[in-house]
Structure 1
């Protein structure tokens, strides 16, 4: 396993980050234990969760994933320092999470304490803002006109962001979190937090996780360039396009128990005729390479300049083992060129 520095922090994290959002719905405690133990035995030291999980989110499963990880930690306290544990505070809009309140100093203090209790730990290594208070161009809202940036009250946002920074600093000073980061945010969001942190001598963000995969490359090149030069770790989530890039959903297929058989909060927005064509082409190309479509998609993300660690998830041990093998692969120049041709054919299929 290879490792990278987590942005401007002092932490070295594995190039693979074990995602956990299926634990508590599609996966039970035994499944999660098996995945965690296997991941650690293969060099993974980085694990990502959120108070929101399991996914698809619901009032019934809120906090369940953190509890599952906490149960594992309670039985393996000697391994806590081996794990770089990341979690997230939910943004506003979900009534069963603090009445749908946006992120504020008050909600950060409450959420951190609740996550620590569920996780059975004294500290969280990387605490992330799951999505910003303002509307952001994520979850298929990245087309022109879908988010109106000029409607944002800039001064209000700056005030809220400074308040958030101060609350995060309090959590750091109290030893409850070590570092903090962003999720589903933009270049403006990164740079505004960096500027405010510098102006007020507060901890700056060390990482951002956004969706990034062969079907969704909107962060290249501008946001990723920014991450490189500002020393902010870039952590792609959904590197398989919510499973689409495995090929298992081609032409409307819905394997029993798969993620797309569950009701999705934002709908199946990745399931478009254009995406279907793109996935078919990627599956065919992977077959020519002699690897699985999932392995090709993961190997490609891993080799993108600026990527620090790729967040992977699995509902079975077979999937986890297949996915981990992808990070032992190196796509050569000819293979990268062939993938690049398809990227140009299908630049934004959803």
Structure 2
């Protein structure tokens, strides 16, 4: 999602080539990328990936390609309107064009039409849950699901998924699929990292018991779990040095203290902090595949190396103690 914003096309190509050479085959993007989202860069990440695929058409069969249709709130995409059956199909067609492909392996709803408790909105009284018209939202979900089902039958996508959803939302989609004989949701991606574990155990229990793949996004909390933002540091060309659509909601005093405590654990066991944070999420029950991001090949190499790490139980226990001290730092 940084390609076209923080990264040039050439840098993106270098990352894609390296990732593919290391056996990485899942590429996840979205129509609104690059980030931070802006009208002039909207769709640029998909375009870059499409240009990479078109360089060598044999690459398409080697990757699992996923993208997402944005929910309401982005004024320059469908005037910020909620997703409908028609707009889901239109968004898909535009993504396919930019990605220069006839189909997507996975097409996801980036966030729901209702206001959901993500992006720092999970604290008490942040959302008026009673204000949601559940019948209206369920009708919207059915229309979205019909669009996804028809797109699968047309061969334009192979599977469909969700993002930034809750157990209620997941189960509504599953019930609608069964009741109307429509395509079943196969995956969900939510933020999940050492600083943000609120999906455990409730969303993860739903995913495990319903056979829905759980795909954590931002397993390094937007780069914070590398330690580069501790004590107010803002390195150039990093996420926190830029204006964010949802603000720097992770930037709190408790976040700083938690990262410092995790760093002490990493130092004690002679581990790289970022790799330790990734390895912890990789070993978590219910996690299917993590969605990592990098702005350089060097970062990408470091992230990929964490896949082969096995954390000793002593390390996991030490991490868990820090989590208990800072269970919800932002």
Relative to the length of structure 2, the TM-score reads 0.99
1:1-350 aligned at under 5 Å gives the runs 21-350=1-330
1:259-315 deviation digits (Å, cap 9, x = unpaired): 111100111110100100000111121111212110000000000000000000000
Cross-structure match for 1:12? none
1:65-119 deviation digits (Å, cap 9, x = unpaired): 0000000011121110110001000111111001111111111111000000000
Larger RCO: 1 or 2 (CA < 8 Å, sep 6+): 1
TM superposition shift of 1:241? 0.7
Secondary structure of the structure 2 residue equivalent to 1:310: coil
TM superposition shift of 1:203? 0.3
Gaps of 5+ in 1: 1-20
User: How far apart, in 1, do the equivalents of 2:212 and 2:245 lie?
Assistant: 29
Number of residue pairs aligned between Structure 1 and Structure 2: 330
- The structure with the largest strand share of the pair is 1
User: How far apart, in 2, do the equivalents of 1:294 and 1:261 lie?
Assistant: 19
TM superposition shift of 1:153? 0.7
User: How far apart, in 1, do the equivalents of 2:308 and 2:232 lie?
Assistant: 31
Q: In angstroms, what is the RMSD of aligned CA positions? A: 0.6
TM superposition shift of 1:257? 1.2
1:202-259 deviation digits (Å, cap 9, x = unpaired): 0010000000000000000011011001000000000011111100000000111111
TM superposition shift of 1:54? 0.3
Cross-structure match for 1:11? none
TM superposition shift of 1:156? 0.6
User: How far apart, in 2, do the equivalents of 1:279 and 1:154 lie?
Assistant: 38
Secondary structure of the structure 2 residue equivalent to 1:305: coil
- Dislocated runs of 4+, deviation >3 Å: none
User: How far apart, in 2, do the equivalents of 1:88 and 1:76 lie?
Assistant: 24
Cross-structure match for 1:14? none
Gaps of 5+ in 2: none
User: How far apart, in 1, do the equivalents of 2:170 and 2:138 lie?
Assistant: 12
Relative to the length of structure 1, the TM-score reads 0.93
User: How far apart, in 2, do the equivalents of 1:76 and 1:278 lie?
Assistant: 44
